[in-house]
Amino acid sequence: MDYLDLNPDLNAEQMALKRSVRQFALEVLRPAARELDRLTSEEVLKSELYWNTLREAKRLGYHTAYIPENHGGLGLPPLELQIFLEELGWGSAGFAVALGVDTMPATIAALVDDPDLNEAIITRYVEDKEANFIGCWAITEPNHGSDWVRVAADKEHQPAMQADVTAVKAGSDWVISGTKAAWISNGPVATHALLFVQLDPAAGGEFKGGIAICPLDLPGVSRGKPLEKLGQRELLQGEIYFDQVCLPEQYMVFEEDLAPNMGETVLAYANAGMAAMFTGVARAAFEEALIHTRLRKQGGRLLCEHDNVKGKLFEMFTRIEAARALSRAAMDYNMQAMPPATRYSIAAKVFCTETAFQVAHEAITLFGGAGVSREYYVEKLFRDARASLIEDGSNDLLGLAAMEAVLREYI
Ligand SMILES: Cc1cc2nc3c(=O)[nH]c(=O)nc-3n(C[C@H](O)[C@H](O)[C@H](O)COP(=O)(O)OP(=O)(O)OC[C@H]3O[C@@H](n4cnc5c(N)ncnc54)[C@H](O)[C@@H]3O)c2cc1C
DSSP line for 107-156: HHHHHH--HHHIIIIIIHHHH--SS-S-EEEE---SS-SHHHHHHHH-GG
Q: What mean pLDDT is reported for the chain?
A: 95
Residue 88: pLDDT band with limits 50, 70, 90: very high
Structural domain of 361? 262-409
The reply to whether 187 falls in a domain is yes
- Shared domain for 403 and 330, answered yes or no, is yes
The predicted structure's pLDDT at residue 202: 87
Residue 7 resides in a domain: no
Which protein residue's CA is at the shortest distance from atom 31 of ligand 1? 146
Same structural domain, 283 and 337: yes
Q: State the pLDDT at residue 256.
A: 76
Residues 273 and 364 in one domain: yes
- Give the end of a domain, one of 256, 290, 312: 256
What are the tens digits of pLDDT across the range 271-290?
A: 999 999 999 999 999 999 99
220 contact partners, CB below 8 Å, separation of at least 6: 176, 242, 243, 244, 245, 246
Kindly list the distances between the CA atom of residue 191 and the CA atoms of 103, 106, 133, 144, 215, in Å, as whole numbers in the listed order.
12, 12, 6, 23, 6
Specify if 6 maps to a domain.
no
Distance 147 CA to ligand 1 centre (A): 8
Residue 98 lies in a domain: yes
In this structure, the answer to whether residues 252 and 276 fall within a common structural domain is no
User: Using CA atoms, how far apart are residues 346 and 341, in angstroms rounded to an integer?
Assistant: 9
pLDDT per position as a tens digit, 102-146: 999 999 999 988 898 999 999 999 999 999 999 999 999 999 999
Q: What is the pLDDT of residues 288-334, one digit of tens each?
A: 999 999 999 999 999 999 999 999 999 999 999 999 999 999 999 99
Q: What is the CATH number of the domain that holds 53?
A: 1.10.540.10
Task: Please indicate, yes or no, whether residues 207 and 346 belong to a single structural domain of this protein.
Answer: no
Burial of 363 (0-12, 13-18, 19+ CB in 10 A): buried
Instruction: CATH number of the domain at 163, please.
Output: 2.40.110.10
Judge whether residue 364 has pLDDT over 60. yes
Instruction: Kindly report, residue by residue over 10-47, the tens digit of the pLDDT.
Output: 999 999 999 999 999 999 999 999 999 999 999 999 99
* Ligand 1 contacts CB of residue 266 (under 6 A): no
Whether 294 and 353 map to the same domain: the answer is yes
Q: Within a domain: residue 199?
A: yes
Whether residue 207 has pLDDT greater than 90 = no
Range name among 72-76, 118-122, 157-161, 178-182 with the lowest pLDDT average: 157-161
Please indicate, yes or no, whether residues 271 and 361 belong to a single structural domain of this protein. Answer: yes
Q: Can you give the C-alpha Rg of the chain in angstroms?
A: 21
Domain co-membership, 104 together with 140? no
- Among residues 127, 154, 178, the one where a domain terminates is 127
Q: Which atom of ligand 1 is nearest to the CA of 150?
A: 41
Measured between alpha carbons, how far is 334 from 272 in angstroms, rounded to an integer? 8
Nearest Cα residue to 405 out of 209, 160, 155, 208? 155
pLDDT surpasses 70 at 1 = no
87 and 146 inside one domain: no
By residue count, the chain amounts to 411
Is position 1 within any domain?
no
The verdict on the CB of residue 269 being under 6 Å from ligand 1 is no
**Same domain for 251 and 296:** no
Backbone angles phi, psi at 154, to 5 degrees: -155, 105
pLDDT band at 257 (very low <50, low <70, confident <90, very high): low
If you take atom 21 of ligand 1, which residue's CA is the nearest one?
Answer: 393
144 Cα nearest atom in ligand 1: 26
Which pLDDT belongs to residue 376? 97
- Is any ligand 1 atom within 6 A of the Cβ of residue 197? no
146 lines ligand 1 (CB under 6 A): yes
Regarding whether 270 and 246 lie in a shared domain, the answer is: no
Number of domains in the chain: 3
Whether residue 240 sits in one domain with residue 161: yes
Pocket test for ligand 1, best of 104, 147, 397 (most atoms within 8 A of CB): 397
Instruction: Kindly state if the Cβ of 234 falls inside 6 Å of ligand 1.
Output: no
Last residue within a domain, chosen from 222, 256, 290: 256
Say how far apart CA 126 and CA 113 lie, in whole Å: 15
Spatial neighbors of 126 by CB under 8 A, at least 6 apart, are 64, 67, 71, 72, 73, 106
The answer to whether the CB of 184 is under 6 A from ligand 1 is yes
For residue 170, being part of any structural domain is answered with yes
Instruction: Measure Cα distances from 6 to 14, 49, 272 in Å.
Output: 13, 36, 19
Pure H helices in 25-114 = 30-36, 41-46, 48-59, 78-91, 93-102, 104-112
Give tens-digit pLDDT for 147-162: 999 988 877 777 788 9
Is 4 part of a structural domain of the chain? no
* Ligand 1 pocket mutation, candidates 141, 146, 186, criterion most atoms within 8 A of CB: 146
**Ligand 1 within 6 A of CB of 395:** no
CATH number at residue 274: 1.20.140.10
